[in-house]
């Protein structure tokens, strides 16, 4: 059991204001694996006050000092990567080998990227008779999700600290244990008291207290579009800066000259990553109508290779969904897809017979999907792929952009020039061209209802900086 009874505020572990606690449940066994404090608005007040007191001194530190904090933190995280991976595999359900690479090692790379960035970033520049300064925005409220919990925490905390801000973090109550381990390492790394504060709890009251607090200068939120709207609404009352990374319904456009087998295989793999619990997952596969049935056959075979099972074992390629509520939500979408006339190719809403415990959903593929169907328009957040036929390139681009979201996309063609041309016409924040790999230095974020603001690299750093001109 991973039990925590204190919050991390002002450089120390302190008792919460109330006696409440939140149980953390394993999605594979349905057993309680940990416990965290149920924070309150009073705890938020305590944490924000600590962050506000610490801000002037933190803001006055040199980039070299801040580099030192992040460099030590990255080294400590690297040394504990196996512990992070096991913890997150238990909390979220991602198979352990994959959790090691994605959930543990990727956040280390992100933290280290800001160490390198701080060495050369121009915080001041001369423009004729003015000196233009980039200065920290202030106290940052960070609210993070459960699907890539450590990764999303580091994507906010590392650039905020690099900028000279102070932070109040509320991790997801569904997968919070990794945040407590990170807080231990932040302390060990010598980050000044009050620069990083951890308050666990539910969105109401803790998340809302942070978003509405008059002494918080900026909110950075990753989660659902519905919750993002609420954060923006509360933040607007005190005219905070807001960065939102929200949902997605990303198209995977397979052009008529693409290597169909490669594009479909990679597309299914991307859709199923983390049991489909990925905001940027390519959940809509757009294929030429003449090759629809061939693509469906390939997708079925690939999806059925994703064996379900214990994420801490050695055989499973797909773990459970994170909770019973999430499992039921995904199953309801699968049932709706059948009701609306999509062809269920493999998977389905029924529980896998071989796994009576755990929040498992079979990898599911739908064919003959119309883009106006619910399963093609709403974010399912589970292992569900929609295959949508299109008539020609113009139709493919139209369908790709026919969504309220705009987080990510993919384009495949044997002609790199053609693939790039189509990619430039898609309204999404990040488009992978012929399987382009994730780049932690490139900006990540969305168009439309996928949010605004960017994470990673110097674009991520600049979210936490204000611009000041000194006129001479």
Tokens 């780049």 sit on residue: 439
> What is the percentage of the chain residues whose pLDDT exceeds 70?
100
Residues 352 and 369 in one domain: yes
* Pair 345, 369: CB distance under 8 Å: no
Supply the pLDDT for residue 404.
Answer: 98
Report DSSP state, residue 33: E
SS3 of 344-396: the string is: EEECCCCCCCCCCCCCCCCCEEEECCCCCCHHHHCCCCCCEEEEEEECCHHHH
245 is catalytic: yes
Supply the pLDDT for residue 1.
Answer: 84
Q: Are strands 166-170 and 343-346 parallel, antiparallel or unpaired?
A: unpaired
pLDDT digits (tens, 9 = 90+) for 110-120: 999 999 999 99
> Quick check: 234 pLDDT over 90?
yes
| Phi, psi angles (nearest 5°) of residue 311 | -65, -20
CB count, 10 Å around CB of 21? 15
Which residues make Cβ contacts (< 8 Å) with residue 405, sequence separation at least 6?
Answer: 225, 246, 247, 248, 249, 250, 379, 446, 448, 449, 450
* Chain length of the chain: 472
> Quick check: 35 pLDDT over 90?
yes
Q: Which structural domain range is residue 416 located in?
A: 251-440
What are the C-alpha distances in Å from 193 to residues 9, 32, 47, 218, 421? 8, 32, 11, 20, 50
Residues 208 and 192 in one domain: yes
The Cα–Cα gap between 455 and 72 comes to: 22
**Interval 201-230 mean pLDDT:** 97
Tokens 């006050």 sit on residue: 49
The Cα–Cα gap between 96 and 86 comes to: 6
DSSP-assigned letters across all residues of 190-214: TPPTTTEEE----IIIIIHHHHH-T
The Cα–Cα gap between 208 and 144 comes to: 13
Selecting among 38, 91, 245, 455, the annotated active-site residue is 245
Burial of 314 (0-12, 13-18, 19+ CB in 10 A): exposed
Residues 194 and 336 in one domain: no
> Quick check: 315 pLDDT over 90?
no
pLDDT digits (tens, 9 = 90+) for 269-279: 999 999 999 99
393 is catalytic: no
Supply the pLDDT for residue 366.
Answer: 98
Residues 172 and 85 in one domain: yes
Residues 134 and 279 in one domain: no
**What is the count of structural domains for the chain?**
2
Residues 430 and 460 in one domain: no
Residues 320 and 221 in one domain: no
Selecting among 165, 271, 279, 386, the annotated active-site residue is 279
CA-nearest of 447, 449, 442, 453 to 426 is 447
pLDDT digits (tens, 9 = 90+) for 129-156: 999 999 999 999 999 999 999 999 999 9
Residues 114 and 68 in one domain: yes
- Paired residues of 134 in beta bridges: 467
- Paired residues of 23 in beta bridges: 35
Residues 292 and 223 in one domain: no
Using the Cα atoms of residue 325, residue 330, residue 331 and residue 333 in order, give the sign of their dihedral: positive
Q: Name the CA dihedral angle for 110, 25, 168, 245, rounded to a multiple of 10 degrees.
A: 60
**Interval 84-96 mean pLDDT:** 97
Q: What is the pTM of this model?
A: 0.97
CB count, 10 Å around CB of 32? 12
Residues 349 and 202 in one domain: no
Burial of 63 (0-12, 13-18, 19+ CB in 10 A): middle
* Pair 293, 403: CB distance under 8 Å: no
The Cα–Cα gap between 216 and 335 comes to: 43
| Helices and strands, number each (H, E), in the chain | 16, 21
> Quick check: 13 pLDDT over 90?
yes
> What is the percentage of the chain residues whose pLDDT exceeds 90?
99
Give CA angle at 438 (436, 439), nearest 5°.
110
Supply the pLDDT for residue 314.
Answer: 82
Q: 14: helix, coil or strand?
A: strand
Residues 307 and 200 in one domain: no
Report DSSP state, residue 450: G
For the domain that residue 397 is a member of, what is the CATH number?
3.40.309.10
pLDDT digits (tens, 9 = 90+) for 293-310: 999 999 999 999 999 999
Residues 148 and 269 in one domain: no
Which residues make Cβ contacts (< 8 Å) with residue 301, sequence separation at least 6?
Answer: none
For the domain that residue 66 is a member of, what is the CATH number?
3.40.605.10
* Pair 266, 435: CB distance under 8 Å: yes
Tokens 């169907």 sit on residue: 373
* Pair 219, 245: CB distance under 8 Å: no
DSSP-assigned letters across all residues of 101-130: IIIIIHHHHHHHHHHHHHTT--SEEEETTE
The CB-side HSE value for 275 (13 A sphere, CA atoms) comes to 31
């Amino acid at each position: 059991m991973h039990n925590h009874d204190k919050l991390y505020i002002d450089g120390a572990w302190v008792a919460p204001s109330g006696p409440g606690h939140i149980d953390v449940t394993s999605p594979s066994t349905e057993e309680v694996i940990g416990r965290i404090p149920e924070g309150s608005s009073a705890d938020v007040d305590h944490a924000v006050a600590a962050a506000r007191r610490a801000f002037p001194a933190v803001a006055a530190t040199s980039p070299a000092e801040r580099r030192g904090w992040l460099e030590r933190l990255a080294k400590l995280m690297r040394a504990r990567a196996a512990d992070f991976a096991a913890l997150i595999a238990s909390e979220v359900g991602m198979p352990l080998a994959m959790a090691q690479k994605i959930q543990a090692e990727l956040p280390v790379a992100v933290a280290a990227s800001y160490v390198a960035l701080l060495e050369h970033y121009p915080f001041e520049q001369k423009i004729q008779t003015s000196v233009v300064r980039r200065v920290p925005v202030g106290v940052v409220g960070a609210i993070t999700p459960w699907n890539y919990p450590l990764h999303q925490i580091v994507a906010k905390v590392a650039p905020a600290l690099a900028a000279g801000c102070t932070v109040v973090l509320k991790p997801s109550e569904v997968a919070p244990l990794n945040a407590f381990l990170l807080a231990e390492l932040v302390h060990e790394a010598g980050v000044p008291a009050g620069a990083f504060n951890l308050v666990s709890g539910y969105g109401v009251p803790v998340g809302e207290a942070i978003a509405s607090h008059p002494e918080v200068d900026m909110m950075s939120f990753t989660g659902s579009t519905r919750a993002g709207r609420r954060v923006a609404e509360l933040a607007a009352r005190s005219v905070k800066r807001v960065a939102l990374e929200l949902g997605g319904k990303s198209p995977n456009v397979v052009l008529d000259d693409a290597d169909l087998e490669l594009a479909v295989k990679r597309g299914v793999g991307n859709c199923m990553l983390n049991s489909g619990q990925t905001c940027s997952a390519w959940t809509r596969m757009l294929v030429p109508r003449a090759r629809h049935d061939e693509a469906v056959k390939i997708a079925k075979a690939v999806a059925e290779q994703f064996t379900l099972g214990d994420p801490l074992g050695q055989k499973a390629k797909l773990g459970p969904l994170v909770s019973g509520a999430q499992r039921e939500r995904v199953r309801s979408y699968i049932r709706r897809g059948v009701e609306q006339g999509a062809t269920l190719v493999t998977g389905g809403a029924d529980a896998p017979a071989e796994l009576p415990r755990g929040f498992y959903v079979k990898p599911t593929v739908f064919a003959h999907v119309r883009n106006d169907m619910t399963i093609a328009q709403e974010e399912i957040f589970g292992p569900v792929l929609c295959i949508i036929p299109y008539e020609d390139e113009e139709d493919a681009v139209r369908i790709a952009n026919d969504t309220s979201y705009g987080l990510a996309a993919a384009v495949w063609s044997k002609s790199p020039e053609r693939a790039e041309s189509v990619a430039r016409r898609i309204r999404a924040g990040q488009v992978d061209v012929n399987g382009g790999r994730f780049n932690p230095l490139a900006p990540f974020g969305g168009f439309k209802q996928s949010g605004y603001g960017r994470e990673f690299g110097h674009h991520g750093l600049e979210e936490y900086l204000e611009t000041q001109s000194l006129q001479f």
